[in-house]
A and B are shown apart, each in its own frame.
Chain A
Amino acid sequence: MSIYRLIRQRFFPHLWCPGCGHGMVLNSLLHAVDDLGIDQSQLCMVSGIGCSARISGYVDFHSMHTLHGRALAFATGLKMARPELKVFVPMGDGDATAIGGNHFIHACRRNIDMVAIVMNNRIYGMTGGQYSPLSGRQIGGDDEKSRERSVFATTAPYGSIDRAFDTVELAKGAGATFVARTTAYHVQEMRRLFKQAYEHKGFSVVEVLCQCPTYFGRKNKMGGAVQMLQWLKDNTEKLGSKKLEENPNLIARGVFVDKDEPEYCSEYENSVIAKAHKE
């Protein structure tokens, strides 16, 4: 089937800059949904505010474009009301881990069945290039020079002093039952991980490292979209690979957590509702 059935063509062209990684996330997601052959009327997308959050307008699902950082809270109400619906919650890095950080850890903790996608471009794109909790102090990566180089943002003109969260560790620590990371370069891997996340029953987090050439790229002399994608290719490696084992400066990609734990809506059904009816 064609992925065109999954988008609202009327709402294109999209508002993303040329070369923005968010479009690649949309592309992989549409292919994943297409592969899964899901009935669109069962699909919901709930997003917050940011460049990334605009993704929900483009998909022909039930879509809710909500408040900065609060998408998971809206999604929680929706999912509890209609557990049979499938919910995707794409978020920017600021959206998910700054203003929405509290909702993020609590959604992980509850293990409510939905797919959270953290579109991590290490910057606030929509508001014009301020640092986020995922910007970090240094560019990092394999190359020694770039590893030590300070991260700049419009609100970090002298270089950022803020340490970064590791989204994967954060999600693991908070109790998410499926946690994965990939990049905008690895589109086939992304597609696969989205499918795995979708099929996992519980709270799934997929972090997608992606490029914002307009702000992160420009502020940090990372080049254009192509160079930034190359950076993502060169500085990440598959979990379990020899290369990764040998080089601690590389960022790991793959599935970090995949475990079965009681899912929140099912627990409400099986425990709370069942007991309330017995009384």
Chain B
Amino acid sequence: MSGKICFVQGNEACVRGALYAGVRFFAGYPITPSTEIAEHLADQLPRVGGKFVQMEDELASMCAICGASLAGFKSMTATSGPGFSLKQEALGYAIMAEIPCVVVNVQRGGPSTGLPTECSQGDVMQARWGAHGDHSIIALTASSIQDAFEVTVQAFNLAETYRTPVVLLFDEVLGHMRERLEIPEAGVLPVVERLKTDVRAGVNYHPYLPREDGRLPMSDFGGVHRFNVTGLHHDIWGFPTSNDEQVVKLNYHLFDKIESHANELARWKEYYLEDAEHVLISYGSSARTARALVEDRRAKGDRLGLLELQTLWPFPAQLVQDKTANAKSIYVVEMNMGQVASQVKAVVANPDRVFLVNRMDGHLMTPSDISQVMRVVEGRGF
């Protein structure tokens, strides 16, 4: 991969990834620690034929990207906790109306205004269930600048493939940390373009009729097909319906189109898992800490391994089961009260051997935070 090398923040890596994937519209509202994403895109988008707008709030921003996406633009917004809360209603709309878009949440401490400039991973469950009603969602995360770039490209690809919003759950440390980024040449990473309908003008086009493979080809607003988009339950024309059968069918469609692909959607990294007795599971910036500890203890001969999740939703249950099958104990390392740990417990054979290692004060986890818990669990004292 002989690309351009730079030294950038995670937020900028996200912007570079978005541009690589072909983002052409951004709407947002400033909030720490995500603001640099808006600032860079305000600068970059007009250079590539794209548009940037600073809206009056985060919900308006989420609405605006839905509008732009329906007009055929790859669209994104970025925010942090309070803004992510505001976006939820329109995020649900994007799910219901099947509008591809990318929503970045650079997490900070919560609830409420919380810790604006400090780190947390407290929005994992909100990403999954923040919008009301049964639904499914894709959420990705990353622990390095290079990965932030790559998962951002992937987020756009998945949004287009599944016709759905994709959430990027970054965190303050990743967003603000600087590291080397190698931007691959165009064409090195696959970029998925919008699947457009081949139905000709004058022939009935059904915006909500899935093909055999489950995908729904789109037609841009302003194109030859005129159709209705709504957040109400709707039929294949996009027209509101409360027909029992159609309602249930749509609910299952929205859920299954993502959940039934959980295995393909799983992205992860692993370190020393082959013979690991103790498996650490982590993601985002706390995975850096977990990895440091694993490297350190391996050097001393301890059989520790790390499973770093990059896909949080749909939860990669099969992956977690497979990778922890031989573990004596599992430590979930995260900066919240166990939002992923609860998922791990729900899927592994021996939930009693799953332990949470967390930190809630806004500071990045340290290796000794992890080893302290391990000492207690292993009966080596406090």
Contacts and interface: CB of A to CB of B under 8 A. Distances in A.
Interface of A: 8, 10-11, 40-42, 44, 46, 56-57, 60-67, 70, 73-82, 84-85, 102-103, 106, 268, 272-273, 275-277, 279
Interface string B26-65: 0100000000000000010011010111011101110111
Most buried by B among A41, A57, A82, A273: A82
Interface stretch (B11-19, B222-230, B261-269): B222-230
Contacts of B57: 102
Contact of B64 (A41, A65, A74, A102): A74
A56 B59 contact: no
Contacts of A61: 226
B195 interface: no
Interface stretch (B66-74, B103-111, B210-218): B66-74
Interface string B328-348: 000000000000000000000
Query: Which residue among B51, B220, B229 has the maximum number of chain A CB atoms within 10 Å of its CB?
Result: B51
Contacts of A11: 239
Contacts of B56: 73, 102-103, 106
A81 B63 CA distance: 13
B68 A66 contact: no
Nearest to B240: A57
B367 interface: no
Nearest to B25: A81
B64 A80 contact: yes
B229 to A, nearest CB: 5
Nearest to B45: A276
B277 interface: no
Contact of A67 (B51, B64, B93, B228): B93
Contact of A76 (B64, B227, B240): B64
6 contacts: A64-B228, A77-B64, A80-B64, A81-B24, A106-B56, A276-B46
Given A77-B69, A277-B47, 10 more contacts: A44-B221, A61-B226, A62-B227, A67-B231, A73-B67, A77-B64, A85-B221, A106-B55, A272-B46, A276-B46
B329 to A, nearest CB: 46
A71 B84 CA distance: 19
A65 B232 contact: yes
B73 A81 contact: yes
A102 B227 CA distance: 28
Contact of A77 (B59, B65, B239): B65
Is chain B's binding surface mostly helix, strand, loop or mixed? mixed
Most chain A beta-carbon neighbours within 10 Å: one of B93, B228, B229: B228
B224 A73 contact: no
B281 interface: no
Given A64-B229, A65-B231, A70 B63 contact: yes
B53 to A, nearest CB: 6
Contacts of A8: 228, 239
B221 A268 contact: no
Given A73-B55, A102-B57, A80 B68 contact: yes
What is the interface residue range for chain B against chain A? 35 or more
B27 A77 contact: yes
B142 to A, nearest CB: 27
Contacts, number: 137
Contacts of A66: 63, 66, 93, 231
A62 B55 contact: no
B53 A76 contact: yes
Contact of B226 (A60, A82, A103): A60
A103 B221 CA distance: 22
B177 to A, nearest CB: 28
B221 A67 contact: no
B89 interface: yes
Given A67-B63, A273-B46, A81 B89 contact: no
B358 interface: no
A70 B231 contact: no
B221 to A, nearest CB: 4
B63 A77 contact: yes
B46 A70 contact: no
A76 B221 contact: no
A279 B47 CA distance: 9
Contacts of A273: 46, 49
Contacts of A276: 43, 46-47
B289 interface: no
Interface string B226-255: 111111100001011000000000000000
Contacts of B226: 40-41, 60-63
A165 B356 CA distance: 54
A76 B65 CA distance: 9
Q: Give 6 nearest A-B pairs by CB, closest first.
A: A77-B67, A77-B64, A78-B67, A73-B63, A276-B46, A81-B71
B71 A76 contact: no
Contacts of B75: 77, 81
B8 to A, nearest CB: 19
A157 B225 CA distance: 48
Contact of B224 (A41, A81, A272): A41
A70 B60 contact: yes
Contact of B230 (A65, A76, A80, A279): A65
A62 B66 CA distance: 14
A82 B25 CA distance: 11
A57 B72 contact: no
